[in-house]
Amino acid sequence: MYPAHRPRRLRSTPAMRRMVAETTVRPSQLVLPMFVKEGATEPVPIANMPGVLQHTRDSLRKAAIEAVEAGVGGLMLFGVPEHKDAVGSGGIDPDGVLNVALRDLKAELGDETVLMSDLCLDEFTDHGHCGVLDEHGRVDNDATLEIYGQMAVAQVEAGAHLLGPSGMMDGQVGAIRSALERAGHVDTGILAYAVKYSSAFYGPFRDAVESSLQGDRRTYQQDPANVREALREVRLDLDEGADMVMVKPAMLYLDVLRAVAEESDVPVAAYQISGEYAMIEAAAAGGWCDRRTAILESLTSIRRAGADVVLTYWAVEAAGWLR
């Protein structure tokens, strides 16, 4: 009698495979990142991210309602300001594009979804770095923390439920937590980009936010070669009061995601970034893979590696398939 074991039995029909599936993806586990462009009178397609738009205030509102109706778990907002300056003033201005958009969505959706905001300076600075620069042109960690604290308060007062600091400054979670506590916003949480690698795959996003970055972010984002460092970042953020931790990018760092999921005692998110999105879209457009199967496989893999929540530009479409 050979073979004695036949694993294929459990794969024999769709119903059988469904019954024994270990990993599932639910719409409520997906978060949609969205861009809003100041002064735009019409939504602008993002060339390197087919299907993704820079929204106007109005189209953002409509798309957000649609996303919530599709069942996605939350929205992550990014602002594209009309004017940028050296210190990223648009980020702390209550009338800055991101804060205005948060206020719009809060008025529209209340607590029906989880409103998250990117808490970082790169969208708002004319040099494109995630922090302010010192007199030598280096990113000044502690001066940046001061501004992050002010941004945090502005975003919460505009309606954010969860803040997403993505600048990789040391001590950012602690600085934001204490700014929130001082302002009385004790119930607003922090989704810490605890582990964020310096990745070539952010390319399309930088177009999406019209980034003017010269050079790279290697003095603050992590080296793709390291995983021990990622675990240290997670421990520090948990220590400083992170309510959730995120790993980014996702697909190229599934081993890191697994390690973080084992270390973390708070929910873990993963960000399937713009370049990961663009790669699959390009392959599908070329007829090199089946688009829907590839997207669902990528989301399943990110969940299987340990993510409780996945930020993905396909959130709405995938939610439709998964319902």
Tell me the binding residues: 206, 217, 233, 274, 313
DSSP code per residue over 18-85: HHH-S----GGGEEEEEEEETT-SS-EE-TTSTT-EEEPHHHHHHHHHHHHHHT-SEEEEEEE-S--B
Nearest by Cα to 34 from 77, 73, 66, 63: 77
CB 55 within 8 A of CB 35: yes
**Does 281 participate in binding ligand PBG (rule CB under 6 A)?**
no
Shortest Å, Cβ 299 to ligand PBG: 15
Largest pairwise CA distance in the chain: 77
- Of the two residues 202 and 253, which places its CB atom closer to ligand PBG in the complex? 202
- Of the two residues 122 and 240, which places its CB atom closer to ligand PBG in the complex? 122
Is 134 in a helix, a strand, or coil?
coil
Closest residue to ligand PBG, judged by C-beta, is 205
Question: Which one among 38, 122, 237, 281 touches ligand PBG, defined by CB under 6 A?
Answer: 122
Shortest Å, Cβ 220 to ligand PBG: 9
Per-residue binding string, ligand PBG, 256-275, x by CB under 6 A, is -----------------xx-
- Of the two residues 108 and 252, which places its CB atom closer to ligand PBG in the complex? 252
Binding residues for 5-aminolevulinate: 206, 217, 274, 313
Catalytic residue (choose from 37, 62, 106, 196): 196
Which one of the spans 117-125, 140-148, 250-258, 262-270 is the region binding ligand PBG (CB under 6 A)?
A: 117-125
**CA 119 – CA 192 distance, rounded (Å):** 10
**Does 314 participate in binding ligand PBG (rule CB under 6 A)?**
no
Nearest by Cα to 307 from 266, 241, 258, 238: 258
Residue spans of alpha helices (H) in 183-273: 203-208, 228-240, 254-263
Nearest by Cα to 208 from 65, 33, 83, 14: 33
**CA 184 – CA 182 distance, rounded (Å):** 5
Per-residue binding string, ligand PBG, 160-179, x by CB under 6 A, is ------x-------------
Question: Which one among 72, 120, 257, 269 touches ligand PBG, defined by CB under 6 A?
Answer: 120
CB 97 within 8 A of CB 89: no
| Exposure string for 248-275, b = 16+ CB within 10 A, e = fewer | bbbbebbebbbbbbebbebebbbbbbbb
Backbone angles phi, psi at 267, to 5 degrees: -60, 145
Strands 53-55 and 44-45: antiparallel
**Does the annotation mark 196 as catalytic?**
yes
Catalytic residue (choose from 37, 62, 106, 248): 248
- Of the two residues 120 and 132, which places its CB atom closer to ligand PBG in the complex? 120
**Does the annotation mark 37 as catalytic?**
no
- Of the two residues 108 and 301, which places its CB atom closer to ligand PBG in the complex? 301
- Of the two residues 100 and 108, which places its CB atom closer to ligand PBG in the complex? 100
Shortest Å, Cβ 176 to ligand PBG: 14
Number of chain positions touching ligand PBG (CB under 6 A): 10
User: Could you give the residue numbers annotated as active site?
Assistant: 196, 248
Positions touching ligand PBG (CB under 6 A) are: 118, 120, 122, 166, 202, 205-206, 217, 273-274
